[in-house]
Structure 1
Amino acid sequence: MSKRHSVMKNHQSDEIGVSDEDSGFTDVEQNDSSSNKQDNQVTATLDNMVYLSELNRMNVRYVSFSQDTAQDEVILKGLFHHHFDRHGLSVHAGNLIEMSDRTSFAELPPAISMTILFDGKVSFSLGSQRYQLGCLGEGSVECSAFIINQPEVLSRRFECGMHVNKLNIFIERQWLEQRATTPDERHHIQQLFHDHAAFYHWQASDVVAKLASDYLFKAQHTSLQDELLKEAIIFQLIAENLKVLTLLHRAERPQNTDQSYATASQENQLRHQIDDMMMQSMTIAEMSSAIGLSVSTLQRKFKTTYGVTVNNYCRQRRLDMAKKALLVDKKSIGEAAFIAGYGHPSNFITAFKKRFKLTPSELVATILP
């Protein structure tokens, strides 16, 4: 269930921008497709034209634009910095003008996404819930974050002419857990990821606003010293925002004193096994035999870890795949029903509405322009 939380002032949200490159500014001029690039640093100007083909090259890990968008279409203009450390921490920053009315989609892994917004408005949907950030007024620096504990589809709406100045940090759960050194810290991370699609928003502190502003300025510089300083700033921002998220989360729900926990890697191992076997249309008995557990032990272990039985998880996952097919791949309702394992569209529509609170056609009409 999606949850919203706010402090001081309200109405903010987040968007994801992650890449499969190391780091640098885009520098894609209209008549210079090669650019003067090195492996991990590029010089940019406010006149940069960022094409769909360039975004696709950078964002192969998660992002897919609507299929009717031409590869040579200009999506953004301005400064656009991206960094991905290949271990689950992604940063993108920009002072940009959106040049096209378009929607992008991404199926995201369990993660915390943080955004610091200086200017502009950003609209997006997480699952079937719509959000907008940028409503505090001129001069206000806004922070927001959402936490997802399972794969989820995010759609981001670009509005032609919108000027956006922001910094986004996307932290996969596994990256955070690898840096937790005590059982208490690991338990705290597990508690943060308890609710799926939990959404928080607050006004940035002076410290966070200054750090984010420094990063946006230094993003134009790519010397070794600047790279180290930028990395230090990101770690400081994560630490500062995690303090706020901890306070908001603890205010929302009483602390569970049970110190047992499962890390993302442990959870993913079992989930990936089930996902692989689900794609082979294996029965629960066949899955249990392949894993080396009895049916009852597998069901109990899976429900303890994920809160649902294997049967329910497989049903939900197929519906998630169908939702992605509708939004990202532009499949028909009949094709999506087949992907979800339903022989009749009417049964699929009923199950889809039960899970997402909207019928497939209602979801598409809500998310897509």
Structure 2
Amino acid sequence: MSVTSPEKNSPNYARKRVVMTRLSQDSQSADRILSDNRQPNETLLQGKFQYSQFRSGLIVQAGTFRELADADVLSNAGPCVCITLLLSGRIRFGYDGMDNVLDASDGVKALAVNLARQCAFRRHIVASAQEQEIRKINLLVNPEWFDKNSIPLPESVRQFLQTHLASWRWQPDQDMLKLCEEILTLDQAEDPWMHQLMLESRGQLILMQLCRQLVNCSPAQFQHVADAMHHIPDQLSAVVAYLEAHLHHDVRLQEVASATAMSVSVLQRRFRTGLGCTVFDYVRNRRLEKARDMMQLENVSVSEAAYLCGYNHPSNFITAFKRKFGITPGEC
């Protein structure tokens, strides 16, 4: 099976190409996130970035930066709980079949997502937003962090950690905002040991506030988000992660099977049994979902969305779109 790449005919082809990245830090100038596989040393993000990993299982990432190029950055993530706190700007990112947009134009936004297994992570970078400064903090914590001396977890926290793509949005209070501001300015500390101690302590306090939020919520408040996603059997998680990471490319069964250590026949049988559809159907549906999101969130035209889905004629795209969503792209 070959699914035609939608990007080769798209006006947005350059922006939608997938890139790998690396961080370049220079004490004499701004930090940069560079492309590793598109244009040599192309700067995607520029500003100030922090990254610290602690023995407790906590990773703290923080940055104040601007987006300078159009690109989709793909990587693998999980299992972990990912907390994103956006103090200014607008960002778009996703895990597997979930896409998220955080916009801090009307106040700070906070989102926690549980990754119960390895999945594809996508980050969309938009050059048109380069005049807008983005200030954000990411906290990544492994599931073992929540195990405190074998004390049973509160039921809502336990269910959150057991549900892949369970998410929780909340409004940070002033105490949390103060912690975020301190993290973003801690790079000015002169003593590296004290800097790490202060950074970890503030990250832990933010996690504690998240736990308080989860303890006081009903599991139904985050469960419905995950229920809307595909219930993916463990034996297909690597396949789905591969497909999600390659939605913008030609997808061939032999390549998928080789990448996930299966034969083509086993892949087809397990996929249909586990998800009730073919690999082709999954890719087509996910492209339609992404096209819908782009029309809603990025004002992409129907013609552009059709190309992004691999349709040479918008009329065929409109028919497929209405069959899946019950409305036409124009009604989206």
State the TM-score, normalizing by the size of structure 2. 0.65
The answer as to 2:145 corresponding to 1:175 is: yes
Q: Deviations over 1:268-297 (max 9, x none)?
A: xxxxxxxxxxxxxxxxxxxxxxxxxxxxxx
In structure 2, how many angstroms separate the alpha carbons of the residues matched to 1:152 and 1:51?
23
Aligned to 1:79: 48
Match of 1:332 among 231, 251, 276: 251
User: SS where residue 39 of structure 2 aligns?
Assistant: coil
Match of 1:323 among 228, 236, 243: 243
Aligned to 1:245: 214
Instruction: Please report the RMSD computed on the Cα atoms of aligned residues, expressed in angstroms.
Output: 3.7
Aligned to 1:146: 113
Match of 1:124 among 93, 102, 105: 93
In structure 2, how many angstroms separate the alpha carbons of the residues matched to 1:321 and 1:127?
7
CA contact (8 A) 2:31 2:47 kept: yes
1:188 deviates by: 6.5
In structure 2, how many angstroms separate the alpha carbons of the residues matched to 1:239 and 1:345?
42
Q: Which runs of 5+ in 1 are unaligned?
A: 1-18, 21-25, 29-34, 36-42, 54-67, 255-306
In structure 1, how many angstroms separate the alpha carbons of the residues matched to 2:241 and 2:110?
31
CA contact (8 A) 1:107 1:151 kept: yes
CA contact (8 A) 1:147 1:199 kept: yes
Larger deviation, residues 356-365 vs 108-117? 356-365
Match of 1:155 among 114, 117, 122: 122
Larger deviation, residues 157-166 vs 89-98? 157-166
Partner AA of 2:217 in structure 1: L
Partner AA of 2:207 in structure 1: I
CA contact (8 A) 2:167 2:222 kept: no
User: SS where residue 211 of structure 1 aligns?
Assistant: helix
The answer as to 2:175 corresponding to 1:207 is: yes
Aligned to 1:236: 205
Aligned to 1:133: 102
CA contact (8 A) 2:156 2:218 kept: no
1:356 deviates by: 9.1
CA contact (8 A) 2:77 2:119 kept: yes
1:249 deviates by: 4.4
CA 236–326 in structure 1, closer or farther in 2 if over 3 Å, else same: same
1:219 deviates by: 2.7
Aligned length: 257
CA contact (8 A) 1:107 1:324 kept: no
Aligned to 1:164: 134
CA contact (8 A) 1:113 1:147 kept: yes
Normalized per residue, the structure richer in helix is 2
1:324 deviates by: 5.1
User: SS where residue 185 of structure 1 aligns?
Assistant: coil
CA 148–243 in structure 1, closer or farther in 2 if over 3 Å, else same: same
Aligned to 1:341: 263
CA 242–44 in structure 1, closer or farther in 2 if over 3 Å, else same: farther
Q: Which runs of 5+ in 2 are unaligned?
A: 1-20, 224-230, 295-307, 309-332
1:248 deviates by: 2.9
Aligned to 1:360: 283
Q: Deviations over 1:107-130 (max 9, x none)?
A: 212211111111011111221222
1:336 deviates by: 4.2
Aligned to 2:313: none
CA contact (8 A) 2:79 2:116 kept: yes
CA 124–97 in structure 1, closer or farther in 2 if over 3 Å, else same: same
CA contact (8 A) 1:323 1:336 kept: no
Aligned to 2:158: 190
Moved over 4 A (4+): 186-189, 344-353, 355-358
User: SS where residue 226 of structure 1 aligns?
Assistant: helix
1:74 deviates by: 0.6
In structure 2, how many angstroms separate the alpha carbons of the residues matched to 1:137 and 1:244?
23
Larger deviation, residues 344-353 vs 333-342? 344-353
CA contact (8 A) 2:183 2:202 kept: yes
In structure 2, how many angstroms separate the alpha carbons of the residues matched to 1:169 and 1:214?
14
Match of 2:32 among 21, 25, 49: 49
In structure 2, how many angstroms separate the alpha carbons of the residues matched to 1:218 and 1:317?
38
